[in-house]
Structure 1
Amino acid sequence: MLLVRLNAFVSFASLLLLPSVVQAQTEEKAGIISGSDIGAMVLALFAVLLLIVVLASLLKRFNLKFQGTSGMKVLSSVSLGAKERLVIVDVGGQKLLLGVTQQRIECLKELSSDINLEGKQEQ
């Protein structure tokens, strides 16, 4: 009976002391951060930021646009004002001249499919 009580007391005492032991160990480990660890973290951060900037500049330089395979393509676009544009789009082999404003988009003309677009074009 005494052995059972002693065992229960030791178990209870270990449960009370366990959080303080764990906290002491984590504080001991957390206090050890060397300058090389911080330097490595900063270097990795700059490497990731540099990678983002390089990829963004490549996308901009090569004019890569992620368009779906919906069968629609913007062939050309001309700005007429701050928020007005004329846009030529190809929809399923049919070319349309669209007037685009802030409030609406209107089909102005259906163009012939053999029309030749000169100058700068969006692809």
Structure 2
Amino acid sequence: MWIKTAVASLLLLALPAIAEETAEAIKSAPAKVAGNAPDTLGTLLSLGVGLLAVIAVIYGCAWIIRRMNGMTGMNNNAIKVVSVMAIGARERIALIEVGGQQILLGITPSAIRTLQVFEEPVVDAGKATSGDFAKRLQGMIGKSWTAPSKE
């Protein structure tokens, strides 16, 4: 879609220059003499160079867009992953810190859900250990991860 837009905009930018050049050529050219053939080699060369320029601009724009998409995650100071714990084969819980708050997230292959938002830090982001996080989480939930409850 954006390739068509780029080609159309390039053509629209080039049309006034082409029209002016053609008008000047018609005014300055003497009357056609019978037997003069148009310069086909020059025309083909001109069209080929123009086509190559348009293709180069399209590839250049695509390269710039690819480079810009890679720059979106450069600021890693705002969000910190404090700890991650696997719950199942593809399920995890993660504790992240954003703006002084710690947020407990449930992560599955199809969704990410907020489980709890802590106003004060549960675990220090600089000294996070998996054992400390697990113990505090067990204390807050009130269940043991290792021993399933039988009722």
Question: Aligning the two structures, in what range does the TM-score lie when normalised by the shorter sequence?
Answer: 0.3 to 0.5
Comparing both structures, which one devotes a greater share of its residues to strand? Answer: 1
TM-score by length of 2: 0.36
TM-score by length of 1: 0.42
